[in-house]
Structure 1
Amino acid sequence: MGWDVIFLIANYWAIAFWLLLAFAPRGPKVMSAVMYAGVFLLCLAYTVLIVGFMSGGIDPGGSGGDFTSLAGVMKLFAAPGGATLGWIHYLAFDLFIGLWIARDADNKGFGRIIQLPFLFLTLMAGPVGLLLWLIVRERRARAAAKAL
């Protein structure tokens, strides 16, 4: 299976769970599916690939690279396998953060319409969506803490 195919499978897999998170009823089964069929399997794919790269069992399709310098990281991402690995990393973490935002927003009484822009921003630009959510949730989080 080529890197393009792995990339597309991971992408479509993540999008399916983002759509569930955004539009499906948020019962325990849906939230568990997002966590374990979505996040867990993306993390598993990432783990298999990085262990394969580090052990030499999987060829990333490029010339070396490492995490010790900007030039080394650029080499990693220049390889098809390295870029795919990095993308799966982003997909897994962004979906996990989206799941946390959805749960946090539900717990704080934010409606789904209010949540959607934050979920979309987290999907498209992870830290931006998270940063804005952290700012917006702050007032309700403080009010809930005072009520205890």
Structure 2
Amino acid sequence: MNRLLLLPLLLLACSDRDLCTEAPLCEEGRAINCEPSCPVGPCSTGPSILSCGEEAACTIVPGDLASPRFFRSRALCVEERSASCDPTTAGPPVCLGDGLIRGCSEYKRVIRASCSQAVLYFQDIACCSGAAPADGGVPDGGSPDGGP
């Protein structure tokens, strides 16, 4: 009888689920977004999935419809202890290493994102550009940057 119960579960686990039709999506502590078309890169043909970790929670945040760049609603890894922030007065985001960036995003939340997707969330992504990050971290790609 247990085998009969497992079969539907196995079929669901192996389904060809299209996460891009469901995005933005928060699922099991992960932020899932898709960029089928965009005014600035990176566009993608598949989902972008970021695990939020222990210090952040996935939250769906509405975009700014007046912004040509930050108009989409997004699933974001929002720092749990942060309040709303103002990106025009906040300091620049910092790179955390392991290809991650943290700071006050254009979505007015302190978030963590991957450097490969940083341009979709921040105006200033200098620490992810391959130049030495201000915090002495590593640029996206994981190789040491020789920072201070």
Category of TM-score, reference length = shorter chain: under 0.3
Relative to its length, the structure with more helix (as a share) is: 1
Q: Return the structure number with greater strand share.
A: 2
Higher relative contact order (CA 8 A, sep 6+): 1
Using structure 2 for the length normalisation, give the TM-score.
Answer: 0.25
